[in-house]
Amino acid sequence: MEPLMLLHSKVALITGAATGIGRASALLFAREGARIAIADINRPDAERTVADIEKEGGQACFVECDLRQTGRIADAVDETVRRYGRLDVFFHNAGVAGPGLLEHTTEAQYDQVMDIHLKAGFFGAKYALPHLRRAGGGSILFTASGLGLRPSRQSPAYSASKAGLLMLARALAVAHAEDGIRVNAICPGPIDSTPLWQGVLARNPDIVADSYAEMNRQVRPIKRLGNPEEMARAALFLVAPENSYITGVALPVDGGGAMS
């Protein structure tokens, strides 16, 4: 499909874009005309994503960023604006697998999932806000989860962090609509062969990968797992300026899992 250049002349900062949904989104946004800043701690894969964008004729840069340090998030935003002169899209996509059952969750594991999901989303939006205003408006997007819409028995900390992101999106959508800033979230279902999926399996050794995947297929009307490119297309839909009447939305992209 030929690009429609939906993000022509725009600048997008994407967290967690070295792999998975973030990488697919960075590639797609670049094809649609955006200049991309990748904020991640995974240098090798982030640089590979940058190189792949540049091979296709796009512009991208890597900004090393530990999202658990709010000062580094501010630096990533500032570096993006220094390089490209503006910011139009802040897409907080980075995520980690949930730590497991309540009784097995340590304080350090809880802090990690909250810091990377909710705290980084909050402060990333805070630091992006003045630049989005200066650009005349823009878009903030969060990668939440289907497990932010409904509870997870296996990982209450993960569910709570993603539900927090959804409420943050709604609160910011209300607060900043007059600035021309739209705030939305995508809620992916299980995505095959991503680092996050592998992290779920690694942190839950009692789960058998094939049976867990099959269970996730069977509980949704579209009986398969999703892929990063499908999530990227949903993300593009929400950040594209053409969809300027959409804000405060939590969009399930889960094969109908939210209904099951």
> Active-site residues: which are they?
158
Which stretch of DSSP H or E encloses residue 108? Answer: helix 107-114
Which residues are CB-neighbours of 124 under 8 A, at least 6 positions away? 15, 67, 73, 77, 90, 92
- CA torsion sign for 117, 121, 124, 126 is negative
Question: Which SS3 state, helix, strand or coil, does residue 57 take?
Answer: coil
Q: With H, G, I as helix, E, B as strand and everything else as coil, classify residue 22.
A: helix
Tokens of 38: 């990748």
DSSP reduced 3-state for 92: strand
Residues sharing a CB contact under 8 Å with residue 23, sequence separation 6 or more, in sequence order: 17, 45, 49, 228
